[in-house]
Amino acid sequence: MYRLFLILGLLIVLFVLLKSVYRNSKLAGRPSGPPLDGDQMVQDPVCGVFVPRKTAIVQQVGGISNCFCSQECAEKFQEQRTS
């Protein structure tokens, strides 16, 4: 009877180990460190609000990309530049 519990305990330990190894291999697929571009927070130069890059409105002006929270801010920025 005692042996049965020992085997059961070993199986649980093995299962937990396999689970952690599986999780680690899954995490290894995604590079750790700097976040992906889409998760990066960018600042709107017009209103100063921080927005995720994937939802921001990006405008290339003279090789520099400006990110805005909305089309309104992008237009406002253009007006400021031209005036």
**Separation of CA 35 from chain center:** 5
Least distance between Zn ion and beta carbon 43 (Å) = 9
Stretch that binds Zn ion, among 10-18, 24-32, 33-41, 44-52 (CB under 5 A): 44-52
Q: Give the one residue of 44, 56, 66, 67 binding Zn ion; rule: CB under 5 A.
A: 44
Q: How many helices, marked H, and strands, marked E, lie in the chain? A: 2, 4
Site for Zn ion in 45-64 (CB under 5 A): 46-47
Least distance between Zn ion and beta carbon 9 (Å) = 59
Q: Cα–Cα distance between 76 and 45 in angstroms, integer?
A: 10
Least distance between Zn ion and beta carbon 67 (Å) = 9
- DSSP 3-state assignment of 79? helix
